[in-house]
Amino acid sequence: DLTTTEFKLLAVLMENTEAVHTRSDLLREVWGYSDDVATRTLDTHIKRLREKLGEAGKHVVTVRGTGYQFCMDATAAVAVAA
């Protein structure tokens, strides 16, 4: 079962699967944090979300230096993450 925050995070990622969501955008949209907050909260929630999604967790992709993206195509997810 997803927590409310995990569900909200997944919903934001899936609203636009073409977009790469920056860390600051996700922190603002999901937690209401300002842009200047340094926190590992997002990373922890992404990790837990991937674990709870099981095999589907591979679709939550880290875009190094930018943020996160939900890729519907698993092969594209691997290419984006590389």
Give the pLDDT band (50/70/90) at residue 82: very low
State the DSSP code for 56.
G
> Any idea which residue has 């949209």 for tokens?
29
Provide the whole-model pTM. Answer: 0.84
Q: What is the distance between the alpha carbons of residues 48 and 19, in angstroms, rounded to a whole number?
A: 21
pLDDT tens digits, 53-73: 999 999 999 999 999 999 988
CA distances from 37 to 9, 30, 42, 61 (A): 17, 13, 11, 22
**Given 3-state DSSP classes, what are the helix, strand and coil percentages for the chain, each rounded to the nearest 5?**
60, 10, 30
Q: Which residue has the higher pLDDT, 81 or 16?
A: 16
Give the pLDDT band (50/70/90) at residue 26: very high
